[in-house]
Amino acid sequence: MKQYRAEYEKWLAAESLCPEMRAELLGIAGDEKEIEDRFYKPLSFGTAGLRGVMGAGINRMNTLVVAQATQALAEVILAEGGDAAKRGVAVGYDCRHNSESFARTAASVLAANGISVYIFDAMRPTPEVSFAILRYGCIAGVNITASHNPKEYNGYKAYWEEGAQIGPEQADAVEARIRNIDIFTGAKTCDFDAAVAEGKIRVLGRETDEEFLERVLSLSVYPAEVKKAADELKIVYTPFHGTGYKLVPEILSRLGFKHIICEPRQMVPDGDFPTVVSPNPENKEGFTDAIALAAKENVDLIIGTDPDADRVGIVIRDAAGNYVTLTGNQVGVLLLDYIIAAHKDLGTLPEKSAVVKSIVTTDMTRAVAEYNGVRCAECFTGFKFIAGRIADLAEEGYEYLLGFEESYGYLCGHHARDKDAVCASMLIAEMAAYWSNRGKTLYDAMQAAYEKYGHFAEKTVNIRMAGIDGFEKMQRIMKELHAQPPKALGDFAVLACEDYLTGKVTDAEGNVIGETEVTGSDVLIFRLSDGVRLAVRPSGTEPKMKVYALVQGPDAETVNRRCEAAASAAETLTREKERRYG
């Protein structure tokens, strides 16, 4: 009997399997492909925690998988010794189906292991979970969310005491323990309500929101600009049915904005996300209702946050009056330019200032930083790495102004160590007020930035690897690219290769000519002719390769053309290698 079939039969035979899951599994008894997909491997626990489609099976998100992972996390915490168990774990969750149930399961397992728990009384933005870890001195945190994934997904993010998601060391320790825990009988548990009554689980409410909002409000750079623009400036906001629905309008109101127009249907939390194809602020389609509302109300700025309110996207009106999206790169550059300008106006720019970005985030960041005498520090993709870089810079005496990555995540201040769409929404609105007071829209500000710092363009391509062996294909492709970097990509010559796994930078002939700023991740960046850089990396959570084209050039038309050509050449090369590996 094949392994996946044996695992399926094991689940059906388990006495403790709940009736709902048993019925679900019996319902697929004749679908061998579906059985294989659910049971061919367990969800892997990495630095991004767990993420998958909800349902019964080891390759699905369900209460058994959540309990098993939490038991493993509890054992890692207990192994720390000292007061780790007493310090406890902060637990939060988003608007998705089963999120509250999964959070209560996690809290019950932690409490049964003698670990103190702080759990929110309702859904909250991801950054507030990070805030709670720091505020209450917790050893760790758990957040039940699948961020901007489709409605069928849910996830489990684990955090450590710094407020950032766990690093490789803790993730590996959790993963190793998971494999030794029986999914049906291995997790300790207790009654949630009884644990609350006994003080083992503390429920967090409005008092934590107030402290979080106070800290975020203190990060406003130039509140006087909001006061000047408040009577005229209008903002449309949508939370895409998610957790931003309370705190984002609240922080904007407290800062002084008077005209915050919320898209009414999308203000209703709903794990089905009924008004959008995808609850992802990267996609303009999700803003359709908000754009219609903005047009009706004559509004220039639309802000949208994803379901767990850690990422934010914006839609603005261009010179012709059309509503257009800005990329995560463009918003990050605008924010950096604004924060620096505001501090300079006020005379408060720290002498040793820095910005932190991922290695696949726009090179325009460096141009803005260097022009203004600000250090630009790089790290790997993921806010746990941005958080680590912020800590490193602090030890060197630098105050960071902004940390961001191209995937619509931004962070300022020291209240949290994960991307924060509540704070970012506040600063975006404040930035709009600043430019409005100077007779400009954010579209005008973006065009002015290109004239000032140079023209840049970026494009990200996701290349999904089909089949169960998708992850293996990615590994084989990356191994080949590390060993034999291409000499050319389309019409672009490869001038150098930055290998972030080894830390070596080699020229076209393979000679070592330098070192990368950071090392230890499976990423390759090819420096191409015509001011093009092309990054390739495997996704850590899905079977897909991610390709990033980053271009600098003399004008918008040139950089956009080169960007499309470079991304297309990289996709062609990757697809050819995928076909070879069958």
Q: How confident is the model at residue 194 (pLDDT cuts 50, 70, 90)?
A: very high
Interhelix angle 3-13/32-39, nearest 10 degrees: 90
- How many domains, the chain? 3
Domain of 107 in residue numbering reads as 41-204
pLDDT at 577: 86
pLDDT digits over 84-134, tens only?
Answer: 999 999 999 999 999 999 999 999 999 999 999 999 999 999 999 999 999
The pLDDT mean for the chain works out to: 96
Catalytic residue among 147, 220, 353, 407: 147
pLDDT at 582: 65
pLDDT digits over 35-83, tens only?
Answer: 999 999 999 998 889 999 999 999 999 999 999 999 999 999 999 999 9
Tell me, yes or no, if 425 is annotated catalytic: no
- My answer on whether 433 and 292 are in the same domain is yes
- My answer on whether 220 and 311 are in the same domain is yes
pLDDT digits over 259-295, tens only?
Answer: 999 999 999 999 999 999 889 999 999 999 999 999 9
Among the candidates 404, 422, 451, a domain finishes at 451
- My answer on whether 283 and 349 are in the same domain is yes
- My answer on whether 319 and 384 are in the same domain is yes
The verdict on residue 79 lying in a domain is: yes
The verdict on residue 277 lying in a domain is: yes
| Whole-number percent of the chain with pLDDT over 90 | 93
pLDDT digits over 438-449, tens only?
Answer: 999 999 999 999
Q: How confident is the model at residue 541 (pLDDT cuts 50, 70, 90)?
A: low
- My answer on whether 53 and 168 are in the same domain is yes
For 342-395, give the secondary structure using H, E and C: HHHHHCCCCCCEEEEEECCCCCHHHHHHHHCCCEEEEECCCHHHHHHHHHHHHH
- My answer on whether 142 and 251 are in the same domain is no
Where b means 16+ CB within 10 Å and e means fewer, 313-332 reads bbbbbeeeeebebbbbbbbb
Among the candidates 157, 186, 204, a domain finishes at 204
CB count in 10 Å sphere of residue 350: 13
pLDDT digits over 27-41, tens only?
Answer: 999 999 999 999 999
Q: Alpha-carbon distance 520 to 167, whole Å?
A: 13
